[in-house]
Structure 1
């Protein structure tokens, strides 16, 4: 009798545990952050409403999520669509997956404003044909890659989540983060131009831009790990990850590479 009572008490627990340990469904939705003809909050809300996720993962850190309902940007696709969804489904969790303190981290380490200043100087040198022949070719390909993405920006959100855009975006991001550094390391002017960091220290365009390029890899890896962590914390749930479309290819590849068997990646746009 005692054994039977113990078995009866255990059964509901075992059933509940097995129900919560199924694979988490992960939808990776590439977005454009500002409302436009490509995507607006109503369109993104319709996507969310068709998936009915239990959890929204935002490209924000914990501090930004803490004030998510207080500081509302009228043109933000993710924020406004999410607020509509959370109002309709108030039990939904709204969680961060971003690198913690991303913006301040970049400022503190001199990655900004050296990122923009470096590109501006590079473009000026290119226009004046003041780069070496090899560097002129690298920057020419960078301009071409940007033009291709600009043409995609005239399409729609399904196209922006497709393989054709992914291929061109991967190439553009590779040039920006892994080939443009060859220019800053071989042209002396980038070592001579300096900016002042918040702590008063000085950093060259060359070093600041390289740090910024390194951070692209660190940030995407951190975001992928945070997504996996949330998938494991909420096993069996449906999660929508809202990320800038230029991150989607990288995160998808990392989530496939780090697959631990606890989640399933589902492509919404087919």
Structure 2
């Protein structure tokens, strides 16, 4: 009898523990509507997995106190979330982006210097002014975008998988590390300046270097924010709606952060 009770207790505890598992699904998206991917595409996925929380790649400034949007969303993720919550009013939204992201970029001067630096390197490449080694790095950076474009033109699973994540990781490595090394070798980048609104000047090289550092800081911060929401809502199903170029980084960081937490599991939307 005691053995039977013990077995029943163990079984009930196991069922309870399983019920408390928190699921995190990172869905990489295309922000703007395109022929093969729009808000309805995301709604179809949401209807299938039925998340309790929909995490948005924006900060708290875009939300009211009840976590509804202050202004109607324009991007796929926001549009889809509103449609889904209209049908599932117990579901909730939360922001997970780096707080004050846009202002941080302006204050630190890498908006718009990051883009200006890339444009300058592109012109040096097209004018055959880069060394062979530098040109090889830039061409690799450009070429890595092509398979991502192909994947993005297909169905969501095509750009939500480990193979595409690997390409995204390599592409961003080339952008923020290999290209930065090229820029450090070019006097054009260190001697060309952008004048900020506060009248202070920042070189294209410095601006790009700050952008490179922010890529890491932002993604690591987003992963920590996601984990915090997950820990505050045990047993819930959470979908992270992010641009697919961020997916590999967020998943990698979350796996590190949840390595010893058996109550949080990572899944794909098609599992």
TM over 0.5: yes
Query: Could you tell me whether the CA contact under 8 Å between 1:152 and 1:160 is conserved in 2?
Result: yes
Secondary structure at the aligned position of 2:228 is classed as helix
Task: Please give the residue correspondences for 1:43-192 in structure 2 after superposition, counting only pairs within 5 Å.
Answer: 43-66=41-64, 69-74=69-74, 76-192=75-191
- CA RMSD in angstroms, aligned pairs only: 1.9
Alpha-carbon separation, structure 2, partners of 1:161 and 1:126:
32
Ranges in structure 2 where 5+ consecutive residues have no aligned partner:
1-12
Secondary structure at the aligned position of 2:241 is classed as strand
Distance 1:117 1:26, change over 3 A: same
Alpha-carbon separation, structure 2, partners of 1:59 and 1:68:
14
Alpha-carbon separation, structure 2, partners of 1:157 and 1:190:
38
Q: CA deviation at 1:21?
A: 8.8
Alpha-carbon separation, structure 2, partners of 1:55 and 1:164:
27
TM-score in terms of structure 1 length: 0.88
Alpha-carbon separation, structure 2, partners of 1:112 and 1:169:
22
Secondary structure at the aligned position of 2:144 is classed as helix
Cα deviation 1:136-187 (Å, max 9, x = unaligned):
1110111111222222222221101122211211111110011100111110
Query: Could you tell me whether the CA contact under 8 Å between 1:138 and 1:179 is conserved in 2?
Result: yes
Ranges in structure 1 where 5+ consecutive residues have no aligned partner:
1-14
Secondary structure at the aligned position of 2:242 is classed as strand
Q: Which residue of 2 aligns with 1:248?
A: 247
Total equivalences in the alignment = 253
Q: CA deviation at 1:65?
A: 2.4
Query: Could you tell me whether the CA contact under 8 Å between 1:194 and 1:205 is conserved in 2?
Result: yes
Q: Which residue of 1 aligns with 2:225?
A: 226
Q: CA deviation at 1:200?
A: 2.5
Are 2:261 and 1:263 aligned?
no
TM-score in terms of structure 2 length: 0.88
Are 2:43 and 1:42 aligned?
no
